[in-house]
Chain A
Amino acid sequence: MIEFFLQPWPWYVAGPLITLVMFLLFYFGKTFGVSSNLETICAIGGAGKFNSYFKLDWRKNTWNLIFVFGAIIGGFISYQWLTPNEVIALNPQTIQDLSEIGIKNAGQSYLPAEIFSLDALFSLKGILVLLLGGFLVGFGTRYAGGCTSGHAIVGLSNLEIPSLIAVIGFFVGGLIMTWVFIPIIF
C-alpha cells in the first residue's frame, strides 16, 4: 500500500479519482471549477475599486477558496511525504525534442529549470515568460468561462457544447504554443 502511494499514479487511477473529487463537490451542493477563484481573489484584493464587477459578494465562494487552500496543502503533503523522487517517465522522444530547443534534463524533476529555477525567475526573460503565461491563463479562462476543471471535466461530463468548444480552443492554443512559439522562445 505504501509502495503504491510513493510511486507515480497511472492515469487509470488519477482520472477516476478526479471524477470522485467532482462528485464529492456535487454531493456537497457545489460545482467543481478552480478558475473562478481568480475573480474571488481579485475581489478580496480590492479590485472592486477599479471595476464594479468585482464588487461581488465573494463570501458565497468561500467554500471554493477553502478547496484551493486544501489543494495547496495537498501539494505540500505530496511534496514532503509522497514523492521520494520527481523523475518522470517521459517519452524519450520528448526528452530529445526538448534538448534540441535548449531545455535540458527533461523528466528529471517535475519542472524545467529553464522556466522555474531562481535564475530564471530573476532574469527579465524568465519573469516575462511566467507573467505572460499566467496572464494568458487567467484572461483566457475567464473569457472562456472555465478552465480544465469547469470545462474539460465538468462540462464535458455534462455533454455541454460550450465546453467542447472551449476544450477545442484549449488544444488549438496549446498546439500553437508548443509547436510554434516554444521553439522560438527557448
Chain B
Amino acid sequence: MKFIKFFIVGILFGIILSKAEVISWFRIYEMFKFQSFHMYGVIGSAVVLGILIIQLFKKGILKNKDGEQIIIPPKKNAFKANLFGGIIFGLGWALVGACPGPMFILLGRGVLAILIIVFGALLGAFVYHGVKRWMPN
C-alpha cells in the first residue's frame, strides 16, 4: 500500500503528457523544426517553476513528508558521456518521437508498435552496460 502514491502520481504523469500532446511524434518533429513554441513552453515552464521550487528546498521552506530537507542527488559530471550519450539519445528521440516516459504512456494507449521501441530501449540499456568500459567517459 505504501506504493499507491507512486501509482497515482504516475497516472497523473501519463494523463498530463497525453493531454499536452507531448507523446505525439508530430510534436517532437515540430519542435526540432522550430515550428512551434508548444514543446519549448512545456519544458521551459516546467524548468522555470522547477528552479523556483528547488530553491525553496534549499532554503528549507519546502520539506519532504517526514519534515526533512529535500536533498537532490547530483548528476555525475562526465562531459563526454553527457554529450555523446545525449546526442545518441536525441537521434532516437527524434526518430521515434518518444523518450522513455512517453514510450510507456503510449503503451497504455494500445499502440502495438511501441512494444518494439520499448524492446529496443531495453536492448540499448543492456548493450550500453556491456560496452561502457570502452566508451569515452
A-side residues, CB < 8 A to B, are 5, 8-31, 34-35, 37-39, 41-42, 45, 47, 50-51, 53-54, 62-64, 66-79, 82-83, 88, 90-91, 93-94, 97-98, 106-107, 110-112, 115-118, 120-121, 126-127, 129-163, 165-179, 181-182, 185
Contact = CB atoms under 8 A, between A and B. Distances in A.
A16 B53 CA distance: 11
Nearest to A79: B109
A74 B35 contact: no
Given A70-B7, A147-B101, A156-B47, 6 more contacts: A78-B15, A88-B21, A115-B113, A135-B123, A173-B94, A177-B91
A29 B65 contact: yes
B45 A11 contact: yes
A155 B39 CA distance: 18
User: Chain B's interface: helix, strand, loop or mixed, by majority?
Assistant: helix
Nearest to B24: A110
Contacts, number: 507
Contacts of B54: 157-159
B60 interface: no
For chain B, give the interface size range.
Answer: 35 or more
Nearest to A167: B86
Contacts of B44: 11, 15
A82 B32 contact: no
Contact of B15 (A74, A110, A146): A74
A10 B42 CA distance: 8
Interface of B: 3, 5-33, 35-51, 53-54, 57, 62, 64-66, 70, 72-79, 81-101, 103-114, 116-130, 132, 135
B96 A78 contact: no
Contacts of A53: 129
A135 B42 contact: no
Nearest to B4: A66
13 contacts: A11-B42, A14-B16, A28-B5, A38-B100, A75-B107, A77-B14, A118-B112, A134-B124, A150-B75, A159-B54, A165-B79, A173-B86, A174-B32
A71 B106 CA distance: 9
Given A71-B14, A145-B78, A177-B32, A165 B50 contact: no
